[in-house]
Structure 1
Amino acid sequence: MTLQNIGGLALGDFRDRVRRPVYAVTLLAAVILGYLAVPGTGSTWAIMNIGGYRGVYDSAYVGTAAALAAALWLTLGGFYVVRGAIGHDERTGVGRLVAATPLRTPAYLAAKFLSNLMVLGSMVGVLAATAAVMQFARAEDRAIDPVALLVPFVVIALPMAAATAAAALLFETLPVLRGGIGNVGWFFVWLTVAVGGLSERAPVDVLGVQHVVEALRATMIDQGLWKPRSSFSLGLTQEPEPLESFPWDGFPLAAGFLGGRALVVLAALAVALLPALWFARFDPARGGFRRTSEQAPTAELELPPAPAYRGLPATAPVYGNTFGRLLAGELTIIAREATRWWWLGAAALAAVGLAVPIGSVAPVVLPLAWVWPVLLWSRLGTRHQRDGMEGLIGAYPAPHRRLLAEWTAGLAVTALLGLAPLARMAASGDRPGMAAWLGGALLIPSLALAAGTLTRTPRLFQAVYPALWYCAFNGLAPLDFMGAARTDGTPAGPHPLAVTALGGLLLVLTLLTTSARGSAWTTRHV
């Protein structure tokens, strides 16, 4: 298999992806990230802050700031964008065709890695173009230097895109990580890499941040701006005052730095090809995909005799509480999806919630209880597509009842896991905490159902909720939807009514989306 063949496979896979609506959404996200990377000159928001200063908005600084933002945030969101390439081949039957060709496993993995990198690279390209537009719009220095603008994207953002593309491929080939556990786990892997990469004591400059900080510090020392206690931050933060600016010519392309970035790319390629040791490439002889009755050999099939039509017995109509039966069915499905170990973990969290001091219930126990069912929540709104029941469900005459039943089942799981913390707050008279608990309990299933219904995949919720949960768990008050962040014992987050209203808005959006899809299904099939 030549490099030309690998490139052709990668290009075909890339063309298939760009036709999907989700690709347009990813490019829009790159535009938004580019806009946020270059805040207004008088804004108190900052994406990169070093000792209360920022560089003048010229090509060198704008390109570096946007490239670092890409290295930090595209590695998180980009993973979920490119993930699923192998699974898509398996679901669509392309994998069987691949298994029948002389294509070798390393070549197949290399093509998928290159396709992932092309998708992420296109996002980096859109971000670079947006950065150029933002430099011109901010009007501090409208002379655009293409080399100074693009070099940071090549040496900082693209190596991290390669690492993300390889990680997505690796996760897809490991049985434990190819599902929801991998989607949730990647957030914490990314968090570890991001926190470690932003630390000046990190042994390896994975993100390239340390080299940039050293260059910024050297310029500030020459200009007399550096202070001993100055710190560096990367990420969208709000400062008390707008940052002051200073001229900066960019970071030097030292041999050691370029060698480190090349090592990141080579390590990513090695990780992408590593699954060749165990990946079966859809070969049924090696257990490449599960054989179903439709895939059984023809010689083993015995056709049953054609049934004779004798009419159907008359049945009397049955009237009753349809919602109750739907709810019972949804609860049964959730109960069966939860393993024995999941129930043991839920019981342990309840015991801890009843035993710890009351001061640890809201900030510690409740967040831990409300992250445990993340995989169960993420399946809301997606089970029917996963099980091939979308056509049957689309013909249901009252889709709002089924959706409300599914939402109520998700609410029941949320309330069950948070019951022990709620009981402790009620016993201590923590009414504000109870109100925040109620708002969070209503929001979580609404968010899960909306994400699953709109995207028809659990991946969006598995990506968004851990990040939202982490912010609440670490006391970021504006995003605390459960009352974990406290000020003098009172929840410091948004008002419970605002959280409840957001949950209601998401639920209404889900209902409208389902009704529209039901009408479209009826039009196509009637």
Structure 2
Amino acid sequence: MTPRVLAALAVADFRERVRRPSYAVVLLAAVGLGYLAAPAAGAHWTIVNAGDHRGVYNSAYVGAVTALAGALWLSAAGFYVVRTAIARDERTGVGQLLAATPLRTPAYLVGKFLSNLLVLGSMAAALAGTALVMQLARGESRALHPVDLVLPFLLFTLPVLALTATAAVLVETIPVLRTGFGNVVWFFVALTGMVAGQSAGAPLGGLGVHVFAASLRDEFAAHGVGVTEVAIGLMYADDPPRAVGFASVDFTAAFAGQRLVAVLLAVAVAAVPALWFGRFDPARSAAPAAPVAPTVTATAPLVSYQMMSKAERRRGRGLLTGETRILAGGISRWWWLGVAALVVAGAAAPTRASGPLLIAAWIWPVLVWSRLGTQAAEAGVEGLLGAYPSPVRRALAQWLAGVALTALVGAGAGVRLATAGELAGWLAGVAFIPALALALGVVSRTHRLFQAVYPPLWYAVLNDVRGLDYMGALPGGPPPVAVAGAAALLVTAALATVAARHARR
């Protein structure tokens, strides 16, 4: 296949994908990230922790800081936007058509890689444009140097996004990762990369933080300012950092070579799944891409409703029973064995351990929670279920089914908290988690959004960020009434969205 044909396939796929709402959301988030990278002079937050100082907001500093922030966060969030390219081809039948053409599997996979990279690269381009605007808006230096502004995006951001594009191809072609489990795994992989990639010894230059840090130390030393440590991440500073002159990042030929190797390696690895990926060819038994819906068949919602008797349908509990069957459908006995172990451990442990055990318990059902509000759309029966006379009641029953599941998984720790008189926070968490899942599911109609949002929120609680404690697991967290109020707002938003969609039918 000629490069021209390969490029045409990638561009066509890219054009289709940028029309989706998820792309617009991440693109707007990239613009917000550019704003955070260059905060106002009196702001207390910072993207670069270099003690009490920062670089003056010129093209070199704003470009470098924004590019590093993009490498750090666009790779984590952008993955969830690009990871369904192969599954969509199977679902729409395009993959089966391509299987009948002379297109070879390695070329198909590289085309998907290029499409992924175009999507992620367009987000980086929006981030670079935001960096330019922020430099001018802050007004510390109005001299524009395009090379100093753009080069960090080419050497810091682009190689990391290339590896992310390859990771999306791998996740879609490795059987165990094709479901929502791959989304959760990616969060921890990206988190590890964020930490390890800032090391000077990271393979292929990591995120490039050490190169920026070395230049920052040299520049600051020339102004009599000593810097002992440089870290990238959104952090709070007790005092606003003071501006110090910064000329440019010293990019060496060796570092540029490492980044080129990273991009070439990403291209090569993207073609590796051709060894086992069947590319929708029924003559090959290698596993094709999995459909988007997580472990649910297209008729599961209908079957669950059909299982209810007429008497049950006339009673509210029949609807709740049906939604509970839908939510729990297809879950393996091993998963339930894990729930039993969490409940027993929570009930048997001392009260002081109830918080950590509750945190452990309330990550276990993340893939099940993500079904709330999404199964009808992903299973292709939303139109049929739209004839149900009260969709708002059905959505409310979905939330109640999620509440029941959440309470069950956290029951062991809940018992201990109840004996200590600290049950209010637990009850608020029981209401909040399925409310968040339902709201995100109803709005996005895909399980991926919750799978992308919830693990970072859970991880923040794990790391003792008390202001985000929605579980009641940490002392000094938000009052339970605030968490319950947030849950009520989320449920209300979900029900209003369902009612508005039903009214338009």
**Which of 435, 458, 474 in structure 1 is aligned with 2:424?**
435
Q: Does 1:327 align with 2:320?
A: yes
- How far has the Cα of 1:18 moved from its partner? 1.9
For residues 116-175 of structure 1, the C-alpha deviation after alignment (integer angstroms, 9 at most, x for no partner) is 100111000010001100110011111111111000011111111111111001100111
Could you say which residue in structure 1 is the equivalent of 2:495?
511
Could you say which residue in structure 2 is the equivalent of 1:73?
73
Give me the TM-score of the superposition, normalised by structure 2. Answer: 0.93
For residues 207-236 of structure 1, the C-alpha deviation after alignment (integer angstroms, 9 at most, x for no partner) is 111111111122223322115xx3322111
Could you say which residue in structure 1 is the equivalent of 2:465?
476
Could you say which residue in structure 1 is the equivalent of 2:260?
262
The alpha-carbon distance between structure 1 residues 69 and 106, as it changes in their structure 2 partners (threshold 3 A), is same
What are the within-5 Å matches in structure 2 for residues 119-518 of structure 1? Answer: 119-200=119-200, 202=202, 205-226=205-226, 230-287=228-285, 321-362=314-355, 364-429=356-421, 431=422, 434-485=423-474, 491-518=475-502
The residue type paired with residue 280 of structure 2 is F
- How far has the Cα of 1:21 moved from its partner? 2.8
Find the aligned partners of 1:73 and 1:399 in 2 and give their Cα distance: 37
For residues 67-112 of structure 1, the C-alpha deviation after alignment (integer angstroms, 9 at most, x for no partner) is 0000000010000011100001000000111011010011111111
The residue type paired with residue 332 of structure 2 is T
Contact 1:473-1:484 within 8 A present in 2 as well = no
For residues 178-205 of structure 1, the C-alpha deviation after alignment (integer angstroms, 9 at most, x for no partner) is 1100001000000111111124464653
Identity %: 53
For residues 21-62 of structure 1, the C-alpha deviation after alignment (integer angstroms, 9 at most, x for no partner) is 332222211111111111111100111121221100000000
Could you say which residue in structure 2 is the equivalent of 1:304?
none
The alpha-carbon distance between structure 1 residues 320 and 167, as it changes in their structure 2 partners (threshold 3 A), is closer
The residue type paired with residue 15 of structure 1 is R
* Structure 2 unaligned residues grouped into runs of 5+: 290-308
- The alignment partner of 1:191 has SS state of helix
- The alignment partner of 1:337 has SS state of coil
* More deviation, 207-216/331-340: 331-340
The alpha-carbon distance between structure 1 residues 320 and 172, as it changes in their structure 2 partners (threshold 3 A), is closer
The alpha-carbon distance between structure 1 residues 264 and 319, as it changes in their structure 2 partners (threshold 3 A), is closer
Find the aligned partners of 2:336 and 2:96 in 1 and give their Cα distance: 38
Find the aligned partners of 1:460 and 1:493 in 2 and give their Cα distance: 25
Contact 2:59-2:149 within 8 A present in 1 as well = yes
Find the aligned partners of 1:10 and 1:444 in 2 and give their Cα distance: 38
Give me the TM-score of the superposition, normalised by structure 1. Answer: 0.89
Contact 1:380-1:448 within 8 A present in 2 as well = yes
* Structure 1 unaligned residues grouped into runs of 5+: 292-315, 486-490, 522-526
The alpha-carbon distance between structure 1 residues 267 and 317, as it changes in their structure 2 partners (threshold 3 A), is closer
What are the within-5 Å matches in structure 2 for residues 80-91 of structure 1? Answer: 80-91=80-91
Find the aligned partners of 2:407 and 2:491 in 1 and give their Cα distance: 18
The alpha-carbon distance between structure 1 residues 406 and 317, as it changes in their structure 2 partners (threshold 3 A), is closer
- The alignment partner of 2:177 has SS state of coil
Q: Does 1:10 align with 2:2?
A: no
Find the aligned partners of 2:36 and 2:2 in 1 and give their Cα distance: 42
